[in-house]
Structure 1
Amino acid sequence: MRSLDGSGTDDRRSVREWITCPYCENRDVDIEIWNAEQVVFDCEQCNSTATFSVGE
C-alpha cells in the first residue's frame, strides 16, 4: 500500500470494519485492524473493549 504522499509504503494502515459483539449481540461494533497484526474491538452498547494480537 502506498502512503498518502506516494513516497512508499504505509506500515500503519488501519482498516475499519463492523462486526457483531459476542457479549451483547450489538450488530454495529467498530473494529480496527492494524497491519493484520493487531485488532482493536470496541462495543459502545455494552462498553466491552479488547485488543487482539494476530501472530504466527
Structure 2
Amino acid sequence: QDILDPPEDCFRIRMIITLLQTCGHYFDRGSSKRKLDKFLIYFQRYVLSKGSIPLDIEFDIQ
C-alpha cells in the first residue's frame, strides 16, 4: 500500500481535471496536441489503477 498516494485518494485526479478544464484548449493542435494525447493515455492508466472513483469524478472524466 502506497502511503503517499492511497487508492481512495482522488486529489490528483481532481487536480488534473481542473487543469485540463482551465487550459486544455491551448493544446488543440500541433506538437502540443500530440503531447496531450500521450499524457491522457497515462492519465487514463492512472485513473484505472485507482479502482473505484467517486461519481462526480467519473462524470467529469466523461
Per residue, is there more helix in 1 or in 2?
Answer: 2
Common fold, TM-score beyond 0.5? no
TM-score normalised per structure 1: 0.21
Give the number of the structure with larger relative contact order, counting CA–CA contacts within 8 Å between residues 6 or more apart: 2
Which protein is bigger by CA-based radius of gyration?
1
